[in-house]
Every structure is written in structure tokens, then in C-alpha cells.
Amino acid sequence: MLTSGLSQDEGQNGRKHCNLPVHTLKVASLIRGMFSVFDMFNDLKDVILLIKGNFLLDALTIGGLGVLCVPVEFILKGNHRLFRLDDPSIQFPMTEHERVPNLALVVIAGILPMVAIVLLSWRRKHTVQHILIAVMAFVMAMVVNLFITGLVKLWIGNTRPDLISRCMPATGTPLHEYVSVEVCTNTKKSVLSDGFRSTPSGHSSNSFCGLGFLSLWTSGQFGLWRSGASVYKILIGGFPLVVALYVAVSRIADYRHHWFDVLLGSCFGFTVAYFTYFHYYPSVQSPQSYVPLAVIESNESDDVV
């Protein structure tokens, strides 16, 4: 009888709720909308505070390095080391169809990791401030890596394994003597100049930078390296590094780089990702590994006040 009475009361309450005046429902909907607007303004306030804070210099650094990357990659002429035609390490054929062409590298090492960071942040219901810091940290790592890798390529000017195929040396060029780029007859200057940008491997450095950052960020967000974490979670966090390794090894298989180019580029790219990540985030073993350092410090200062 008691259960039946409760059911009747609930039914009556339900009918009363359904029979609320239309204007009352509109007012309730308006109030909910106002709170949504307030939330949006709170997010906007966080973004403004983020821009006014230490991250303004970071944003300017990203923009400045991004502009400088253009001449480094497409305008400046680097060093052209002397070479010998009888050197077997540069006599490989020039591969026409690479396993990971430049556009694919942009997608694999740049676009996909950034999209993953944004989507996972949204899925975890992070604030706009959290998402912006994560994106800024990722872009910072990529721009710094791209700029320094490009400069080092220009300074060293080392020969690619397929340089002879690119060079098309003139008839009568000495085989056993060091010669300069002047003996090359290839009229495609961009192809020829790229033959002296072997060290370090840009594909390797960019893939280990972008995907290495994603691996660190994922580990921090989901606590993959905390005590008691499942092995399969650790493997998930390490999967981006497996993809980066494939990209790096493909450069040797395509005769685009020597093994030491790939090793140097991979180590350099991951080093940039490592130091950039921990500039913005705490240890991956920290209980707050998913929270940016700036947010942690801001919360601590608010607690003190």
C-alpha cells in the first residue's frame, strides 16, 4: 500500500511538472541559457588571463620562429660538402615514391597529434584554458624542432645516399677526387640542393617530436606511468613512438638518409618534445600529471590568498 501511495504521488508530481505554464518553462530555459553564457564568459576570461600572462611571450616566440622557418626551409642556401663519385654511400638510386612523403609527414606528425590532443581534452571536459595550453605546448615543440633542424641541415650540408643520382655529374669528372657541386648538371636546383640536407633527418626529428609529445601528453593525462597502471595502457601511450619509429626507418629504406642521420634526428626530436612538455606539465607520475603547471601554480596562489 505504501509503495502504491508513493507511485501515485510521483505520478501526480510528474503531471504537475508537465502542466507547468509555458511562460514558466521559457523562463527556466532562459535561466539555463544565461548560465551557459556565464560559463562562456568565464572561459573567455581564462583565455584573456592566459594571453596576458607568461604565455604571451610564448605565443610571440612561436610566431617569430614560424616566420623564420620559411627562409630556412625554402630560401637560404646551405653548405655543400665536397664529395667523391666513387663513394658507395652516396651511389643509391633516387626513390620516386617515398613511403612517407612530406604531406603525409605533416598529417602524421603534426595534424593528427594536435587533433588527438584537442579531442581527448574535450572528451575529458577540460577547460578552454587547459586545451589552449596543450595546443600551445605542442606547437612550440614543433616550431622549435623544425627551425633548429632546418638550421643544422644548412650548416652541415651533408650528402644524401642518393646524391649521385641527383647530381648527374658531367662527363669526365674525376672518380677518385673530391669534387664540388659545380660538377653537377641537374638543372632542377631544388632537387640538387636538397641532396645536401641529409643530416639530421627532418622526417625523423619531426615525427619523434610530434608523436613523442603526444606520447608524453597521453601518459600524463591518463596516468600511464603511475604506480599500478595496466601494461596495456602503457603500450597505448607508447604506440605513437612506434609510428614515429616507422617514419624514421622508412627514410633509410628510401635511401633518403644514412642511419646516423635518422638516429640523430630521432634523438633530437624527442629531446625537444621532452623538454617542451615538462616546461608546461608536471611529471607523468604526479597525481596532477594531467594539469598544466600554470594552472597548478594559479590554484596554489589562489589558495594562499
- Burial track 239-268 (b if 16+ CB lie within 10 A, e otherwise): ebbebbbebbbbbbebbbbbeebbbbbbeb
- Does 117 or 294 have the greater pLDDT score? 117
Gap between the Cα atoms of 250 and 99, Å rounded: 6
Residue 259 has a pLDDT of: 98
Q: What share of the chain is helix, strand, coil (3-state, %, to 5)?
A: 70, 0, 30
Residue 216 has a pLDDT of: 97
Residue closest to 45 by CA, chosen among 167, 138, 132, 160:
132
- Phi, psi of 169, rounded to the nearest 5 degrees: -60, 150
- Phi, psi of 179, rounded to the nearest 5 degrees: -125, 165
pLDDT tens digit string along 263-293? Answer: 999 999 999 999 999 999 999 999 999 999 9
Cα separations in angstroms, 88 against 65, 162, 191, 259: 38, 10, 20, 14
Tell me the DSSP string of 224-254.
TTSTT--HHHHHHHHHHHHHHHHHHHHHHHT
pLDDT of 44 strictly over 80: no
- Does 230 or 221 have the greater pLDDT score? 221
Residue 31 has a pLDDT of: 52
pLDDT tens digit string along 132-161? Answer: 999 999 999 999 999 999 999 999 999 999
Provide, rounded to the nearest whole percent, the portion of the chain with pLDDT above 70.
81
Helix (H, G, I), strand (E, B) or coil at 195: coil
Question: Angle of helix 202-222 relative to helix 128-156, nearest 10 degrees?
Answer: 160
Gap between the Cα atoms of 45 and 128, Å rounded: 10
User: CB neighbours of 63 closer than 8 A, spacing ≥ 6?
Assistant: none
For the ranges 88-92, 111-115, 221-225, the lowest mean pLDDT is seen at 221-225
CB 244 within 8 A of CB 266: yes
Cα separations in angstroms, 167 against 22, 95, 185: 80, 14, 6
Residue 56 banded pLDDT, cuts 50, 70, 90: confident
